[in-house]
Amino acid sequence: MQSVQDVVLGLEGVSKRYPGVQALENINLEFRKGTIHGLAGQNGAGKSTLVKIIAGAETPDSGRLLVSGEPIAFQNPNHAQSAGVQTIYQELSLVPQLSVAENITLGAPPRNAVGLVDWAEMNVIAEQALERVGFKLNVTRAVSDYSVAEQQAVELAKALRKDAKILLLDEPTSALPQPDVKRFFEVLRKLADDGVALVYISHRMDEIFSICSEVSVLRDGRHVASLNTSESRPADVIHAMVGESLEGSLAKAALTGEKSVKIGSNCTEQVFLSLRNVSDGGKLSDISVDVHSGEVLGISGLLGSGQSELAQIFAGARERQSGDILVDGRNVTYRSPSEAILCGVGYLPQDRKSHGFVPEMSVAQNITLANLSGFSRLGFIREGAEKERAGGLAKRLAMRISGIDQAMGTLSGGTQQKAILARWLVRSSRALICDEPTRGVDVEAKEEVYELLRDFASNGGTVVIASSELSEALMCDRVLVMARGQIVAELDHSEIDPDGHAIMKYYA
Amino acid sequence: MINDRNGMLDEETELTAEPVRKQWAVLRLLSRSYLMLVLLAMIIIGNLVSPDFLTSRNALNVLTFSSIIALLAVGQFFVVLTGGIDLSVGAVLALATVVAALTMQAGLGAGEAAGITLAVCAVVGLLTGGLIVYLGIPPFIATLAMMTAIQGFSYIIQSTSLIYIENQTFVNIFSEGSLLGLRSPVLIFVTVTIIAAIVARYTVFGRQLYAIGGNREAARLSGLPVNRNLMVTYTISTVLAGLAGLLAAAQLYQGSSLIGRGYELDAIAAVVVGGATLMGGRGDPIAAVVGVFILSIIVNIMNLVGISSEPQLVIKGVVILLAVYLSSAGGVTQLARVFGFGSRSGSSGT
């Protein structure tokens, strides 16, 4: 059925090397007209490098790209775009203050006879582009007025406004609520029917299996498998990604939804941390929660339901307007992260890159950041002690680093998360507040992070997991479901079915 | 910090093949020591173009002038390290000369005058820090406003155009005295630079500043005393500006609100020439001081060969751009590629 002519984009023997790492090695791939082709792989497998090469942001060391059979060497992203390769990155690249129409036509707004911007024409163009992705918005309003899903549509319309033969999507749903993902997929299918070749990069097996016809798997820079989604199972893909059997593991269970595994099992009667009638003057009002020693508490909700804000309150990172915080029954009501840390509460923020670590500092320096007094004498840092302790933790947490002096910014998401976790272990923190703890973390490291949290709880620690991933809520001893800034349900682990319907029914 | 990063590269390159490793070693060495190479080149050029350059009298001139800017640059370095900027240091220097001259005119001794001057400067720093930390005014604006206000204030309190300093003890301590064969300005700035380098590299405070500059929110969420440290940093900057003011007053035998105009820009230029970025989180104080010497030697050479002051400014501007391109903007790597050091990465692009 598919002929050679259908191949819109081909990669022949593409290799790319960075200092110290072979990012891609002899990649051969073909992307066909009218299909949605999945691309899977753990963090560090080479997906982002591949995307950058196809998008013209990087040049391969060897090998070549063929667009519609013609070899082409992209000089820069603009060159790739004019050749019909459009890319949608994980992070939206919109200017929030500008209008929808201005964003869609950004870079090349329509001009009138005098050379000034033709606003009427701009709005028409924007409306047409949005229509193509099935949305109808007031294009003169600022992008920031719209929801994430609508912004995603604007991003898509922006990409399609230029003639798109190939559309690269790098984890486009990471910020989308579940119902919107469905709608987004319909748009993608329609685009495929229109003859666009889509390349869909995702960590999520359910997504890959619901919209991709074929999935190619990268591991350590090599193309290790291409599977037909109608003839394979998610476990096959995960197997190819990880390179060893994940049978019976948490990550697999979480990913495939085959079973849920509780990571907390040591919940005691002892209340460690309590919120009493806490309000933040905005999203959250009058919230009271008790968390026990040894308990893993899930705070579940669609993205933006307030679970992230609640985690910040727990961590002292968000300003409260009223209400109290109790630790061990004492009213401590901390007002800053540093006070919360003194009470034994550590925080793993959702946005690691901008909140979690100092990219230019070493792994060791990031690990000891919250406990410098423990590694200093008379104000001078004891580097030997620091490195020894950090090195021990790196080993214990199986962090994949070349050395304890490696810069934090160069690590994969999973290793960064482990280092932040290590920061709180160094302090012997008694509670960990985790906001989306496995976002941007690869499959294998995800499982390790869960194991570490399990360890922490079984030693009497308190874990709070704020998450929009249903699979993570399924692992908790107890789940609070949030919607519109309110706690709408409290469920014990035993009340939750393996598919999480018990939780989902409260989302709406 | 610098050493740590290079240590990291060591480990990373160990994974790669031997010849590749050598290339990277060359590159690494080049980008680390290029400042010293530039300084050395300047000295050689100076010696070639003018026989007066390597005389002890000229060297003393350069050192004396540089010691004042070096003190400003060390203070500025800490501010820049946190991602801030301090435009007020030139004005604070002038204020210091006026306060020192006034207090000595009133009959106080050299030590008391210096103590009061530095205390006044510390108060100014706390005020600046307060504006930035507690009122949330951006450093650029806060220190710009302080600069203007302090200039006016200095003029008001001096009440005449300048005040002469006749206290010989003061002049000896801060300008003409010497110890172990070193003139006191040199002794003072070298001591300050060494202490600053130790603070930046080995202390908890230094580590915290790198963290605050590298990612302020991560620093806050890790419980670091961000506000307190910023207050301290601006205070260090103004106190060092005050100390620079004492040197200037002793050199000129006077206090005047006109001294030190524009010195803040020389200090900022030196800091970035020394490899720090205005984004914060990078650099070290010794490199900033080397930056001071690179800039002042260039001016000195141009003076010796008789280039008039306007062309001097043009050349100085070009040199600043070039130096920053080489150090911060990755120019060394780019140039190395052009000349074939990094042929491996260079081959892909062309």
For A353-382, how does the pLDDT look when each residue is reduced to its tens digit (9 = 90+)?
Answer: 889 999 999 999 999 999 999 999 999 999
How far away is chain A from the Cα of B14, in angstroms, using its nearest Cα?
A: 8
Place of tokens 């030693």: A459
Does the distance separating the beta carbons of A365 and B13 come in below 8 Å? no
Residue A443's pLDDT band (cuts 50, 70, 90):
confident
The whole-number pLDDT of residue A251 equals: 53
- Between B336 and A421, whose confidence is greater? A421
Instruction: Please give the residue that has the higher pLDDT: either A183 or A326.
Output: A326
SS3 A204: coil
Partner A contacted by B19 (CB < 8 A):
no
**Is residue B297 pLDDT above 50, yes or no?**
yes
Residue A198 has a pLDDT of 93
B183 part of contact set with chain A, CB < 8 Å: no
> CB-based contacts of B57: which residues, under 8 Å, 6+ apart?
none
Return the pLDDT at B4. Answer: 41
Residue B17: pLDDT band by 50, 70, 90 thresholds? very low
Which amino acid would we find at residue B12? E
The pLDDT > 90 percentage for chain A reads: 30
Q: Which of B76, B57, B42, B33 has its CA nearest to residue B192?
A: B76
Nearest CA in chain A to B282: A360
Residue A136 has what pLDDT?
Answer: 83
User: What token pair was written down for A418?
Assistant: 């482990």
CA trace torsion A190, A196, A201, A206 (10° rounding)? 30
Is the pLDDT confidence value at B10 over 50? no
Rg (CA), chain A: 24
Secondary element (H or E) of residue B164: strand B163-164
CA distance to partner chain A, nearest, from residue B247 (Å)? 30
* Residue-level pLDDT at B5: 38
A358·B211 Cβ contact <8 A: yes
Would you state the pLDDT for residue B25? 57
CB of A117 within 8 Å of a chain B CB? The answer is no
DSSP alpha helix (H) spans, A119-177: 119-132, 148-161
> Are B348 and A59 within 8 A, CB to CB?
yes
**A76 part of contact set with chain B, CB < 8 Å:** no
How many residues make up chain B in this entry?
350
Q: How far is A346 from chain B (nearest CA, A)?
A: 8
Q: How confident is the model at residue A398 (pLDDT cuts 50, 70, 90)?
A: confident
- Average the pLDDT over A471-489 and give the result: 87
Chain A residues closer than 8 Å to B281 by CB = 358, 360
Q: Is B81 on the interface with A (CB under 8 A)?
A: no
pLDDT at B266: 93
Residue B142: which pLDDT band, with cuts at 50, 70 and 90?
very high
Chain A contact for B214, CB < 8 A? yes
Q: Per the structure block, which two tokens stand in for A22?
A: 């072979």
H or E stretch covering B64: helix B56-81
Q: Which residues on B lie below 8 Å from A373 (Cβ)?
A: 204
Per residue in B92-120, pLDDT (tens digit) is 999 999 999 999 999 999 999 999 999 99
Q: Residue A406 is nearest to which of B8, B211, B223, comparing CB atoms?
A: B8
Output the CA torsion sign for A358, A361, A364, A370: negative
d(CA A231, CA A199): 19
Residue range A274-326, pLDDT digits in tens: 999 999 887 788 899 999 998 999 998 876 678 889 999 999 999 888 999 99
Contact B11 A423 (CB under 8 A): no
* Token pair listed for B319: 């040199």
Give pTM, 2 decimals: 0.74
Tell me the per-residue pLDDT of B270-279, one tens digit each, with 9 for 90 and over.
999 888 888 8
Q: Rounded CA gap, B264 and B76, in Å?
A: 8
Which positions 316-355 of A are in contact with B (Cβ < 8 Å)? 317, 336-338, 340-342, 347, 349, 354-355
Best probe of the A interface among B22, B221, B229, by most A CBs < 10 A, is: B221
pLDDT recorded at residue A19: 64
CB-CB: which of B15, B207, B347 is closest to A381?
B207
CB–CB contact A406 B202 (8 Å): no
* Position A178 pLDDT exceeds 80: no
Q: Residue B304, Cα to own-chain centre: how many angstroms?
A: 24
DSSP readout, A70-95? EEE---SHHHHHHTTEEEE-SS----
pLDDT (mean) for A95-100? 88
Please tell me if residue A385 touches chain B, with a CB cutoff of 8 Å: no
- Is B219 within 8 Å of A358 when comparing Cβ atoms? yes
Question: CB within 8 A of B194, min separation 6: which ones?
Answer: none
Instruction: Tell me the per-residue pLDDT of A415-432, one tens digit each, with 9 for 90 and over.
Output: 899 999 999 999 989 999
User: Residue range B33-56: average pLDDT?
Assistant: 86
| Residue in chain B lying closest to A424 (CA) | B222
Nearest to A100 by CA among A167, A153, A149: A153
For residue A152, the model assigns a pLDDT of: 83
The tokens 């792989």 sit on which residue?
A: A41
Would you give the DSSP letter of residue A117? Answer: B
A225-261 pLDDT tens trace: 898 988 888 778 877 876 654 444 555 555 555 444 6
CA gap A118, A122 in Å, rounded: 6
Interface pTM, i.e. ipTM: 0.80
Among A12-26, A145-159, A172-186, B62-76, which stretch is predicted with the lowest mean pLDDT? A172-186
Give the pLDDT confidence score for residue B6 in this predicted structure.
Answer: 39
| B11–chain A Cβ distance below 8 A for any pair | yes
**CA atoms of A280 and A286, how far apart (whole Å):** 9
Residue A64, CA atoms < 13 Å, CB-side half-sphere: 8
Confidence tier at A161 by pLDDT (50, 70, 90): confident
Distance CA B71, CA B190 (A): 9
Contact residues, chain B, for A354 at CB < 8 Å: 215, 217-218
Q: Give A175's pLDDT tier (boundaries 50, 70, 90).
A: low
Task: Say which of A342, A354, A376 has its CB closest to residue B217.
Answer: A354
**CA distance linking residue A12 with residue A399, whole number of Å:** 34
| Contact status of A315 with chain B (Cβ, < 8 Å) | yes
**Confidence class of residue B76 from pLDDT cuts 50, 70 and 90?**
very high
Q: Do B217 and A406 touch (CB under 8 A)?
A: no
CA closest to B226 among chain A residues: A338
Name which residue leads in pLDDT, A341 or B320: A341
Q: Which two tokens stand for residue B284?
A: 């070290």
Q: Would you call B205 an interface residue with chain A, using a CB distance cutoff of 8 Å?
A: yes
Q: Considering only CB atoms, which chain A residues are within 8 Å of B5?
A: 360, 362, 405, 407
Q: Please tell me the distance in Å from A128's CA to the nearest CA on chain B.
A: 38
Best probe of the A interface among B222, B229, B328, by most A CBs < 10 A, is: B222
Instruction: Using an 8 Å CB-CB cutoff, list chain B residues near A365.
Output: 4, 207, 211
CB contact under 8 A, B218 and A61: no
Domains contained in chain A, CATH given: 4-249 (3.40.50.300), 250-344+430-508 (3.40.50.300), 362-427 (no CATH)
DSSP character string of B202-265: HBHHHHHHHHHHH-HHHHHHTT--HHHHHHHHHHHHHHHHHHHHHHHHHHHTEE-TTTTTTHHH
Mean pLDDT of B187-206: 95
Cα gap A422→A386, rounded to integer Å? 12
The reported pLDDT for the residue numbered A232 is 86
Q: Do A356 and B218 touch (CB under 8 A)?
A: yes
pLDDT of residue A247: 44
pLDDT at B228: 96
User: Which chain A residue is nearest to residue B211, measuring alpha carbons?
Assistant: A358
Chain A residues with beta carbon closer than 8 angstroms to that of B346: none
Quote the CA–CA distance of A208 and A217 in Å, as a whole number: 11
Placement of tokens 């800091």 in the chain:
B271
- Return the H-helix or E-strand segment holding A343: none
How does the average pLDDT of chain A come out, rounded? 85
Q: Which pLDDT does position A113 carry in this prediction?
A: 84
Name the most confidently modeled range: A176-190, A459-473, B233-247: B233-247
CB A502 within 8 A of CB A496: yes
Torsion angle in degrees (nearest 10) through CA of B189, B195, B197, B201: -170
CB B163 within 8 A of CB B105: yes
> Residue B350's pLDDT is what?
29
List of chain B residues whose C-beta atoms are within 8 Å of the C-beta of residue A347: 221
- Which candidate, A488, A486, A480, places its Cα nearest to that of A506? A488
Q: What is the pLDDT of residue A181?
A: 81
Average pLDDT over residues A217-227: 88
- Residue B332, pLDDT > 70, answer no
Q: Please check whether residue A19 touches B, CB under 8 A.
A: yes
B227 in A contact zone (CB under 8 Å): no
| B192: pLDDT strictly greater than 90 | yes
Angle, alpha carbons B331-B336-B341 (nearest 5°): 160
CA R_g for chain B: 21
Average pLDDT, stretch A71-82?
87
The shortest C-alpha distance from B325 to chain A (Å) reads 20
DSSP B23-54: HHHHHHHHHHHHHHHHHHHHHHHHHHH-TTTT
User: Does the structure show a pLDDT above 90 at B133?
Assistant: yes
Whether A358 sits inside 8 A of B223 (CB atoms) is no
Q: How confident is the model at residue A5 (pLDDT cuts 50, 70, 90)?
A: low
> Chain B closest CA to A481's CA: distance in Å?
26
Q: Which of A349, A362, A402 sits opposite B4 (nearest CB)?
A: A362
- Whole-angstrom Cα distance, residue A87 to residue A241? 23
CB–CB contact B218 A380 (8 Å): no
- Which residues from chain A sit within 8 angstroms of residue B11, using beta carbons? 402-403, 405-406
What's the gap between Cα B165 and its chain centre?
A: 27
